[in-house]
Structure 1
């Protein structure tokens, strides 16, 4: 090693960083893209001004080697509608694998770590090429809130839907899902049981949205079609943009539609509160669509979300642009409902 550096009297900052990266095996896990966000209320809502809400944002991070991992940010939706993101930490931390049985994992982070430091990297062979598109939901059952997320495990050869569970965003359980539905992407869990059963939005046919119910969280068969492509902007296929949001008027489900030349837009449907197989409202036009100035990225002409959140009279929708970076949109709930046609 001495001979390699003999001709260098001094090193530039870039050269020092390169040498350090080699010795430390430094990995830039979100250098290429930070996209497909999902959002849930933060477990800690203390110390906030009236009308504000603290949230946790999950993101799909893509780094060197095009490997996807799961990362987080925290922030506040202010009473006036401003979105304030907490500054991220400079370095990331990995969890300890505290238990493992096959592809079932338990991971635990240092309790002194910041939420933005915590990164869940692929662990199992099925996750080897990425943990993709987590759809988080705050699930209420018997007075207790548990945070679940469905995500896609990608091995490089095949995919499988898996389920993450946490109550505090420090300790996580990850497990594969079973059943015919688990062989597809984009499953989104309802935030509570319906008629005593768990309910999920999924897509089996690569075209339409299906409703599935199950007695267990981990086994999902095939369901019934509830939403088919109807309008030009969703002519190729339609998918969900995260878990349904419960309103007095029904279940608000954001959707993504794929139109000509793989042009992705975001819309919404309203499902009956007692019978979510029944559609009672639907956006005829996209609510969010790619702008000309937003074409730069991994995949142009794409806007995409993995979940939104209701705060007071507003809906907060984080979404990704061109599979590269993420931003936010807010809309009053009443105004959004006006845009949904029966």
Structure 2
């Protein structure tokens, strides 16, 4: 088992209107000795925007904005901007988030060159109904019957006058091009899927997604395997490049008598072919144990969404019980060694 240290609560909600219900699920990016957190800030009525704070080192808050850095502006995000992740590719920062309009939750993108001024690119995942998803994947359908259980929206195709679409969340870019192409993970329950074949964001057209879903089974990169992730899994932190592969810290969900339990999990993907999983921990990296992880807006949640590496210590920032932001740390070399003891045989 990997030794994981719970470092405690990093930030909590304030009395400010935009974050008076909770703060959670932060994106993180390290520049020098500073870590910049872009977190989901929730106001009354469950409306979310993106708050911002700067850490001195991995744990000490140096400054924190008293207003959100990104707010809902368009119809597709009218009810909230949620669960950001961030990477830097070349000289551009890619901040992905879930855009929620009150009916649909879909992956969207904003870009920046300075972490201050952001240009929204809109929704970048497919905007299709579950009915169309079934039609497109008919010849190459997912093996898991959970796609039906989690995504059919009880057969409802319209709600409040708007189309009910297939929810596609947890969009997370790899921090560099692979084989010259932009790559990102996304999640349609219960699995994690991958896109590996675009040169520019503009290529993510309806025609692209139609072809993608026709070969959908081949895009599934991780599926639930162990008890702690038996209900479904989803992307967590942006992949970290290591000598052994892309380290992926993701979340796994188990349905228990206490309800869903969200844990942090770890896997390795092949450096050159990230569609191939090469190792996975057979147990949670860490799970809800402390009082502030067990009780909150949603109980029993550790939701990892950002990391920072200081020497050989990996700090993992996570939403705790959908109310606070915590941090856990571990030795990266030890984690990689443990993962390589749990490689996957593809024969």
TM-score scaled by structure 2? 0.74
Q: Which residue of 2 aligns with 1:188?
A: 172
Deviations 1:218-255 (A, max 9, x none): 41633511211110000000111021111122100111
Distance, in Å, in 2 between the alignment partners of 1:178 and 1:151 is 10
Deviations 1:175-203 (A, max 9, x none): 21345389511111011111111111112
For the 8 Å contact 1:181–1:202, the answer to whether it is kept is: no
Q: Which residue of 2 aligns with 1:138?
A: 88
Q: Which among 220, 227, 236 is matched to residue 231 of structure 2? A: 236
Largest Rg, 1 or 2: 1
Q: Is residue 2:67 matched to residue 1:83?
A: no
Q: Which residue of 2 aligns with 1:318?
A: 317
Deviations 1:271-318 (A, max 9, x none): 111111121211111111001523221000111022223332121110
Q: Is residue 2:101 matched to residue 1:155?
A: yes
Distance, in Å, in 2 between the alignment partners of 1:215 and 1:318 is 30
Q: Which residue of 2 aligns with 1:38?
A: 27
Q: Please report how far the alpha carbon of residue 259 of structure 1 lies from its aligned counterpart in structure 2 after TM superposition.
A: 0.4
For the 8 Å contact 1:245–1:310, the answer to whether it is kept is: no
Q: Which among 197, 202, 207 is matched to residue 186 of structure 2? A: 202
Q: Is residue 2:272 matched to residue 1:308?
A: no
TM-score scaled by structure 1? 0.75
Which ranges of structure 1 fall in alignment gaps of 5 or more residues?
1-25, 46-52, 93-117
SS of residue in 2 equivalent to 1:122: coil
For the 8 Å contact 1:41–1:138, the answer to whether it is kept is: no
SS of residue in 2 equivalent to 1:233: helix
Q: Which residue of 1 aligns with 2:12?
A: none
Instruction: Point out 4+ residue stretches in structure 1 off by more than 4 angstroms.
Output: none
Higher relative contact order (CA 8 A, sep 6+): 2
Distance, in Å, in 2 between the alignment partners of 1:211 and 1:160 is 15
Stretch moving more, 173-182 or 53-62: 173-182
Distance, in Å, in 2 between the alignment partners of 1:58 and 1:311 is 19
Distance, in Å, in 2 between the alignment partners of 1:28 and 1:238 is 32
Q: Which residue of 2 aligns with 1:276?
A: 274
How many residue pairs are counted as aligned between the two chains?
273
Q: Is residue 2:58 matched to residue 1:58?
A: no
Distance, in Å, in 1 between the alignment partners of 2:125 and 2:334 is 39
Q: Which residue of 2 aligns with 1:216?
A: 200
SS of residue in 2 equivalent to 1:186: strand
SS of residue in 1 equivalent to 2:76: helix
SS of residue in 2 equivalent to 1:267: strand
Q: Which residue of 1 aligns with 2:52?
A: 72
Deviations 1:88-130 (A, max 9, x none): 35x43xxxxxxxxxxxxxxxxxxxxxxxxx5311111111110
For the 8 Å contact 2:106–2:125, the answer to whether it is kept is: no
